[in-house]
């Protein structure tokens, strides 16, 4: 793989998001098959944004491939708030649907927060709602956790297991959808967690103390090699496109970490092929879990 140039004896272990996501989805498929009623996932798309259309199709196809009941609602760009809320309400009431995903961003005339708040929290498989954020904060086992931090935790688990006692974790980024839930998950797993961000003083020095370093900022290669503690596990959530004349497309994807400099990390996620592939896998896992909870 050209994105993974490390190969010396001392090179870090590559955390293969594709392979781990495949294992997660295999588990999800078998759990889905064990249920009397198929897990049902409804994906709602408003408007014709091409990137959103691609994401929605990928999610629907994955759901079908796993044996889910998969429903897609494609609504015109001029759909009103009330019309969209009516679709959400109908899906809330539909016993064959266990997960509802409204693809963001919505057209500007729609109120995303109100739409997300209208989704039954037990069907909010993206974990975007205030109630699921609160459940995570208070430690409610019914919390549905946003897919990116959940996938990142799963990757960390392949290196360290589920108990991170005695490990220092540093999360760079304090966003509501990645940085903050990531910090809460790490603290619950017994790591000592530091939330760092653009106002942090001596970020390199702070990172040098991290046994687990999670970069979730979206600034290409901002984490330099000498910020990384030897042997650390590095989870790179960022994806940015940078110009690259050697590529046919004229650009390539890079993460928040200067990957080529991270030769002394213990384990690291590549970009692409690290955290990215986990997102859809976690969406499917959240959906089968929602179906399992409903079946109990």
Q: Which residues contact 4 (CB under 8 A, 6 or more apart)?
A: 14, 270, 273
Which one of the listed residues 59, 62, 123, 229 is annotated catalytic?
59
Smallest separation (angstroms) from a second copy to the CB of 190:
4
For residue 208, give the 3-state DSSP assignment: coil
Q: Is 160 in the site for a second copy (CB under 8 A)?
A: no
Q: Is 94 a catalytic residue?
A: no
Cβ partners under 8 Å of residue 182, min gap 6:
149, 152, 153, 171, 214, 216
- Can you list the positions of beta strands (E) in the chain? 13-14, 40-46, 69-75, 99-102, 168-172, 192-196, 212-215, 233-236, 240-243, 251-254, 267-268
Q: Is 122 a catalytic residue?
A: no
Chain center to CA of 34: 25
Of 271, 276, 275, nearest in space to 253 by CA:
271
Alpha carbon distance 52, 10 (integer Å): 41
Segment interacting with a second copy (CB under 8 A) among 76-84, 166-174, 242-250, 269-277: 166-174
226 among known catalytic residues: no
b/e sequence 86-104, b meaning 16+ C-beta within 10 Å: ebbeebeeeeebbbbbbbe
Q: How many residues bind a second copy (CB under 8 A)?
A: 36
129 is in an annotated binding site: no
Please report how close the Cβ of residue 137 comes to a second copy at its closest, in angstroms.
4
Q: Known binder of ligand: residue 148?
A: no
Q: By CB under 8 A, what part of segment 168-197 binds a second copy? A: 168, 174, 176, 180-181, 183-184, 187-188, 190-197
Q: For residue 272, say if its preceding peptide bond is cis, omega within 30 degrees of 0.
A: yes
- 214 lies in the binding site for a second copy (CB under 8 A): no
Q: Is 34 in the site for a second copy (CB under 8 A)?
A: no
Scanning residues 81 to 120, which ones bind a second copy (CB under 8 A)? none
Q: Which residue number, 129 or 279, has a Cβ lying nearer to a second copy?
A: 129
Site map 117..156 versus a second copy, x via CB under 8 A: ------------xxxxxxxxxxxx----------------
- Site residues for a second copy, 233-292, by CB under 8 A, read none
Binding site listing for NADP(+)? 173-175, 239
Contacts with a second copy, residue ranges (CB under 8 A): 129-140, 165-168, 174, 176, 180-181, 183-184, 187-188, 190-197, 199-201, 206
Question: Which are the catalytic amino acids?
Answer: 59, 103, 126
């Amino acid at each position: 793989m050209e994105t993974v140039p490390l190969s010396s004896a001392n090179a870090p272990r590559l955390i293969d998001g594709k392979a781990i996501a495949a294992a997660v989805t295999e588990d999800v498929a078998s759990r889905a098959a064990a249920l009397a009623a198929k897990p049902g996932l409804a994906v709602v798309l408003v408007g014709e944004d091409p990137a959103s259309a691609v994401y929605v199709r990928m999610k629907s196809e994955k759901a079908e491939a796993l044996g889910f009941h998969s429903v897609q609602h494609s609504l015109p760009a001029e759909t009103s708030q009330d019309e969209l809320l009516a679709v959400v309400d109908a899906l809330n009431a539909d016993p064959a649907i266990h997960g509802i995903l409204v693809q963001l961003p919505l057209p500007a005339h729609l109120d995303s927060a109100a739409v997300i708040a209208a989704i039954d929290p037990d069907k909010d498989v993206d974990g975007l709602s205030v109630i699921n954020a609160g459940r995570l904060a208070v430690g409610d086992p019914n919390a549905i956790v946003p897919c990116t931090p959940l996938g990142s935790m799963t990757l960390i688990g392949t290196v360290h297991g589920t108990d991170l006692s005695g490990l220092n974790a540093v999360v760079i980024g304090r966003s509501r959808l990645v940085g903050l839930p990531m910090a809460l998950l790490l603290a619950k797993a017994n790591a000592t967690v530091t939330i760092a961000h653009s106002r942090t003083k001596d970020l390199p020095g702070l990172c040098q103390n991290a046994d687990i370093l999670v970069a979730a900022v979206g600034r290409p290669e901002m984490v330099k090699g000498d910020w990384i503690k030897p042997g650390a596990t590095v989870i790179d959530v960022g994806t940015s496109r940078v110009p690259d004349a050697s590529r046919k497309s004229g650009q390539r994807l890079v993460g928040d970490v200067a990957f080529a400099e991270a030769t002394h990390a213990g384990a690291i996620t590549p970009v692409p092929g690290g955290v990215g592939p986990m997102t859809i896998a976690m969406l499917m896992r959240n959906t089968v879990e929602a179906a399992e909870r409903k079946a109990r």
